[in-house]
Structure 1
Amino acid sequence: MKRMFLFFIQIAIINLVNAQTVHIPDTNFKTYLVGNSAINTNGDTEIQLSEAGAFTGTIDCGNLNITNLTGIEAFVNLTKLWCYNNQLTSLNISQNTALIDLRCDENWLTKLDVSKNTALKILMCHINQLTVLDVSKNTTLKDLRCYENQLANLDVSSNVALERLDCALNFLVNLDISQNTILKELTCGWNQLKKLNLKNGNNAALQVMLAKGNPNLSCIQVDNVANSNAYSNWAKDAIASYNTDCNYMSVNESNKTKITLYPNPVKDILNFSEEVSDVKITDISGKTVKQVANSSKNINVENLPKGIYIVSFKTKSGNVVSQKLIKD
């Protein structure tokens, strides 16, 4: 009886210890945390809930081939999370409400919810697979880098503290920074922009503006045309001009048919959902790497190096369209 009693006592102690430790299934992530003396303050082989809750510094676990960040939810007072260049396909930071700096770039994230992270000032989520990014709750955000994703929409009207925005290499059609009066740097090139409103009453603060690679953008709305043309660090396509009123509201695009590229990413044959002509492929530096003038529903891109490109083409109705292409 005494032995059985001791056995149950041991089981209870083990369960109590397990209940007080953080579940961290990814070996690489756990190795990093256990090896960090600022986190693992008692020097054992586990991370206690008390240790995680007490930590207020930076978790820098980039470049560690981590596939799962489960356990991060226990770090409720964490202020900086740098998990860049890993193999993450999901990231739950809903419990990390003290975060001011999140760098989860160069992963495989398809969605990212930052609605609970209202203290964020820096968000770097570039080079992922995001199709949606809602930053409406992040009103203190100063630096947003979301380039090289698959975003079709981006609303930054609530981000009045924003100073830097890099949203290049997405599928954006419309971008409005009229509420971002202290923005200093904007990079929005190689999208599918048809509307770009820079008119915020303080264009003089916008030290860098790069909007090249948007062949469907003919008018950019600004504070002052002469000043915009004179800014040395502003760059646009030759087809685009600056205007104080682009009359965007009168543009009717409802009857235009979206042409699909597939597969994308592509290895050899790139198909179009309908016949197109004057196909031009450029790399991210703007260099033309392939041109096909004849009408066709597919082209061979097998000889292109792996990377990200912009494909421009003319539809049957005469519209020039550009889309992002990923070459495997």
Structure 2
Amino acid sequence: MSIILLIVGVSGSLLQAQDKYTTNQPSIKLTTGKESGKWQFNIYMEKADQATAWIDLNNNGTYDKGEEKIKFNVLYKPSITAKTITIYGKVTGFFCSYNTLTDIDVSKNNHLTSLFCDENKLTQLDVINNTKLKKLYCNGNNITTLKLPDNNELEELYCFANNLSSIDLSACNSLKELYCNQNNIERLDVSNCRMLIELSCDRNRLTALDISKNVELTKLYCFSNDLSVLSLSTNKNLIELYCRQNKLTSLDLSENTELTNVVCSENSLNSLDVSKNTKLAELDCSVNKLDKLSVTDNGQLMAVYCFSNRIQTGEFARLLTSLADRNGSGQGEIFVIDTKDTGEQNHCLTDDITKAKQKNWNIYDWQAANNNGKNPYEGEKGSSIQHTVLENSVSVYPIPARSILNIRLPYSLSGKSLTVTDASGRVVISSSVCLSKGLLDIGSLVNGIYFLRIGDEVIRFIVQK
């Protein structure tokens, strides 16, 4: 009789538990690609709701003893006994990163405010029913389709490193942080995201980007796209700008007076005015087509990258002179040349570099990023005489020259024949000049004295290697 009563008691307790731990409550369903090992997730829910929560760990569709023993608000790592499990209860915050998930269904839990399902194997994600969601981190998957709620409260959306070709943000009126970089997005409309503070859309396929409505923006990372135009006139709160590796021919920063970091390298910029950006601490304008740069008004600058441009000795003298005196403060760094770049057209003289060093600046040769670009550079031999082009005269520099001779001449001589003779009068170079400023390759010449003839003008120069 006692055994029967015991069995009845146990059965009754199980039935009571099954009445308590039901499937008739909000749920989240997960499927992993792993055959064994452990799950790992953090589950957050209100204290009052934890009493009825449980996890169907064996995927049999019903409660079994022990499945209610959940660790809340800490990393919970139950063993994998089935590839699909269901979490029952009013989960508000769920962290399930690094589980090799191939599917996640959160459509039956509209209590979620935070979902972190990053670094898995998901190919699609549907959160249409999760209208209370404020934070969604689904980066590092293989997602091609992301469905967001029509009316949502999203403030943080991190969906970078996926395979998205588009993303609908029309209902994201509360969005403050958007990281959709490293996808295949060709068009991005953030016009309704008026509260946006941080935007990272780099490494996509964007040919245009309109951020005129995003006046609260402080950080913009749009590098490695196909942008030919970037208008920042309304983004007066911008602090960080990374727009390198695009197709920009101009960049107006006159309205962005809060900028501290600007990286606009690897574009086609012919000029750059940073006179209004007095808070600038780092400027990278390397690998462009700049023939001059002034940082006279940038007293807080600590790092300048300007290698692989077209800045000649006279303009480089002015640039180094314009550097702030950093004696008594942190040492500055300026990367003036890349001797590993065969297209390098910068020329900087030893005298000018010495003057910059006296103001507590380190002068570096980038050398294709060898040693992180920090290769001390002493400059080209020669004095820092300013070469001024008179209306009807020709000038050349540097003197002495090494491999490239820079030629400045008036338009009246453009197209005239050009010859270089050695001291004996033998013609060693014959060419023509079609621009008012040109470059002549003299790499084949040996050390010595030479004469450049253009029209009636004769200029003496020295080659010293």
TM-score (norm 2): 0.43
**Partner Cα separation in structure 1 for residue 296 and residue 326 of structure 2:** 14
Using the TM superposition, give the Cα deviation of residue 319 of structure 1 relative to its aligned residue in structure 2, in angstroms.
1.7
Matches of 2:312 and 2:432, distance apart in 1: 16
CA distance in 2 between counterparts of 1:320 and 1:63 reads 43
Give the structure 1 partner of residue 384 of structure 2.
Answer: none
Distance 1:99 1:217, change over 3 A: farther
The answer to whether the Cα contact below 8 Å between 2:128 and 2:150 also exists between their aligned partners in 1 is no
1:111 alignment partner, SS class: coil
- Secondary structure of 1:196's match? coil
Judged with a 3 Å threshold, the aligned counterparts in structure 2 of structure 1 residues 130 and 315 are, in CA distance, closer, same or farther, namely: farther
Cα distance, 1:194 vs. partner?
1.4
- 1:193/1:217 contact within 8 Å kept: no
- For these two proteins, the number of residue pairs brought into alignment is 222
Match of 2:225, as an amino acid? N
Residue in 2 aligned with 1:319? Answer: 438
- Whether 1:49 and 2:150 are equivalent positions in the alignment is yes
Superposition CA RMSD, Å:
3.6
- Counterpart position of 1:268: none
Of 160, 164, 171, the match for 1:66 = 164
Letter in 1 for 2:133: I
Deviation of 1:100 (Å):
0.4
> Computing the radius of gyration over CA atoms, which structure comes out larger, 1 or 2?
2
| TM-superposed deviation, 1:114 | 0.7
Tell me which of 206, 215, 220 is aligned to 2:310. Answer: 215
Aligned to 2:270: 173
Confirm whether residue 91 of structure 1 aligns to residue 183 of structure 2. no
Contact kept? 1:177, 1:199, Cα under 8 Å: no
2 CA distance for matches of 1:134 and 1:175? Answer: 14
- How do 1:1-328 and structure 2 match up within 5 A? 31=125, 33=127, 39=133, 47-50=148-151, 52=152, 54-55=153-154, 57-69=155-167, 71-200=168-297, 202-203=298-299, 205-218=300-313, 219-220=315-316, 221-222=318-319, 224-225=321-322, 232-237=332-337, 239-240=347-348, 285=369, 316-317=433-434, 319-320=438-439
Post-superposition Cα deviations, 1:296-317, rounded to whole Å, max 9, x if no partner, equal: xxxxxxxxxxxxxxxxxx9844
Residues 50-107 of structure 1 show CA distances to partners (whole Å, capped at 9, x for unaligned) of 3x2x22x2100001100011x2111011001100000011111111110000000000
Asked whether the 8 Å contact 1:32–1:61 carries over to 2, the reply is no
Contact 1:126 1:147 in 2 (8 A): yes
d(CA) in 1 for partners of 2:310, 2:126: 46
Q: CA deviation at 1:49?
A: 2.6
| Pairwise CA distance, 1:197 | 2.3
The letter of the residue matching 1:31 is: L
Question: How far apart are residue 133 of structure 1 and its match?
Answer: 0.3
Amino acid at match of 2:438: N
**Structure 2 CA distance for partners of 1:34 and 1:169, relative to 1, 3 Å:** same
| Residue identity in the other structure for 1:214 | N
Q: Judging changes above 3 Å, is the alpha-carbon distance between structure 1 residues 196 and 68 closer, same or farther for their aligned structure 2 residues?
A: same
Query: Given the superposition, is the C-alpha separation of residues 116 and 174 from structure 1 closer, same or farther in structure 2, using an over 3 Å criterion?
Result: same
Deviation at 1:235, TM superposition (A): 1.9
Shift of 1:47: 4.3
Superposition deviation, residue 36 in structure 1: 7.7
CA distance in 1, matches of 2:276, 2:170: 33
CA change 1:73–1:190 in 2 (3 A) is same
Encode CA deviations 1:15-44: one digit per residue, 9 max, x unaligned.
xxxxxxxxxxxxx89616459896289xxx
**SS at the partner of 2:304?**
strand
CA distance in 2, matches of 1:235, 1:87: 33
Separation (CA, whole Å) in 2 of partners of 1:316 and 1:155:
32
Aligned residue for 1:319, secondary structure, equals strand
> Is the Cα–Cα contact under 8 Å of residues 33 and 40 in structure 1 kept in the other structure?
no
**Contact map agreement 2:285 2:305 (CA 8 A) in 1:** yes
**Change in CA separation of 1:29 and 1:182 when aligned onto 2, cut-off 3 Å:** farther
Separation in 2, partners of 1:158, 1:128? 23
Contact 2:178–2:200 at 8 Å: present in 1 too? yes
Unpaired segments ≥5 residues, structure 1: 1-27, 244-281, 288-292, 294-313, 322-328
Assess if the C-alpha contact under 8 Å between 2:296 and 2:322 holds in 1.
no
1:235 match: secondary structure: strand
Higher relative contact order (CA 8 A, sep 6+): 1
The answer to whether the 8 Å contact 2:149/2:171 transfers is: no
Q: Distance in 2 between matches of 1:192 and 1:107?
A: 24
Tell me how far 1:140 sits from its aligned partner.
Answer: 0.3
Contact 1:222–1:228 under 8 Å retained in 2? no
Matched residue SS, 2:170: helix
Report deviation, 1:285: 4.0
Query: 2 CA distance for matches of 1:40 and 1:227?
Result: 45
- 1:119 & 1:169 partners in 2: Cα distance? 27
CA shift for structure 1 position 171: 0.2
Task: Output the amino acid matched with 2:213.
Answer: K
* Paired residue secondary structure (2:125): helix
Q: How far apart are residue 196 of structure 1 and its match?
A: 1.4
Q: Percent identity?
A: 27
